[in-house]
Chains A and B, each alone.
Chain A
Amino acid sequence: LAKTTQPISMDSYEGQEVNITCSHNNIATNDYITWYQQFPSQGPRFIIQGYKTKVTNEVASLFIPADRKSSTLSLPRVSLSDTAVYYCLVGDINDYKLSFGAGTTVTVRA
């Protein structure tokens, strides 16, 4: 797993867009970027995965610049239920041993 750095916490308000940036300066050619969400007392939830440029699904968008040394998870129009810890992982496509760091605690307020 490549080392990743992400903010410890972020605050937002309902209806706003939340952008969480993850730094991964040592990303390797075969590495993909994956984000998970975890609510208290629940298992992690896969959000999105990407290799380059932009990936979008019904939950979020993932922006990856050309040098791939960072990535940004974008959560559009957050609600109170988006309050959770968000984890950024970087690893080879054949990796499977998930390992979470501290993650980013996102708190959405009314």
Chain B
Amino acid sequence: GAGVSQSPSNKVTEKGKDVELRCDPISGHTALYWYRQSLGQGLEFLIYFQGNSAPDKSGLPSDRFSAERTGGSVSTLTIQRTQQEDSAVYLCASSATRTASYEQYFGPGTRLTVT
């Protein structure tokens, strides 16, 4: 079956602009996660959705970052007033379990470059 898809695959934006990153999880997966991975850095958790609600937003680095999920499926991560330090690969993952889990299935990521 289809895996997790993300769009765009690459995004170059100017500092100060807003960007939207999209994630389509595996059909039927109720849990959805956003991470970012910077060059040479590890994986950084951003937010977790169970259905349409986000019980854990603890990883969002600032109030410029927000995310929503609609219909228990597609999720959008929005970064307002982008800064150069936001440059990273943004990864989305989903899992089939009713509760969150370490068994997550990742998309290919969106490489964000802020110039």
Task: List residues of chain A with CB under 8 Å of any chain B CB.
Answer: 32, 34, 41-46, 49, 89, 91, 93-102
Kindly list chain B residues whose C-beta atoms are within 8 Å of the C-beta of A41: 109, 111
Chain B residues whose CB sits within 8 angstroms of the CB of A89 once the complex forms: 102
Are the C-beta atoms of B101 and A98 separated by less than 8 Å?
A: no
Contact A95 B42 (CB under 8 A): no
Q: Is the CB of A46 within 8 A of B42?
A: no
Sorted nearest first, the 9 A-B pairs with minimum C-beta distance are: A43-B106, A96-B100, A97-B45, A34-B102, A100-B43, A100-B42, A43-B91, A44-B106, A43-B109
Task: Please report whether the interface of chain A is mostly helix, strand, loop or mixed according to DSSP.
Answer: loop
What are 26 of the A-B contact pairs (CB < 8 Å)?
A34-B102, A34-B103, A43-B93, A44-B43, A44-B93, A45-B105, A45-B106, A46-B105, A49-B103, A89-B102, A94-B99, A94-B100, A95-B100, A95-B102, A96-B31, A96-B33, A96-B100, A97-B45, A97-B59, A98-B33, A98-B104, A99-B42, A99-B43, A99-B45, A101-B42, A102-B42
Instruction: Report B114 CB to chain A, min CB distance, Å.
Output: 19
Query: Could you tell me the distance in whole angstroms from the C-beta of B49 to the nearest C-beta in chain A?
Result: 11
Chain B, interface size category, equals 20 to 34
Interface residues of B in 1-55 (CB under 8 A from A): 4, 31, 33, 35, 42-43, 45, 48
Find out whether the CB atom of B104 lies under 8 angstroms from the CB atom of A96.
yes
Residues on B with C-beta less than 8 A from A46 are 103-105
Which residues from A are CB-within-8-Å of B59?
97
The residue on B at minimum CB distance from A45 is B106
Docked CA distance A44–B111 (Å): 14
Cα A45 to Cα B108 with chains together (Å):
10
Given the interface pairs A98-B45, A100-B43, the reply to whether A43 lies near B102 with Cβ below 8 Å is no
Cβ–Cβ < 8 Å partners of A45 in chain B: 105-106
The answer to whether residues A96 and B101 also contact, given A43-B93, A43-B108, A44-B106 and a CB cut-off of 8 A, is yes
A32 CB, nearest partner CB in chain B, Å: 7
Kindly report which residue of chain A lies nearest to residue B102, judged by CB atoms. Answer: A34
Q: Name the residue in A89, A94, A101, A102 with the highest tally of chain B Cβ atoms < 10 Å from its Cβ.
A: A94
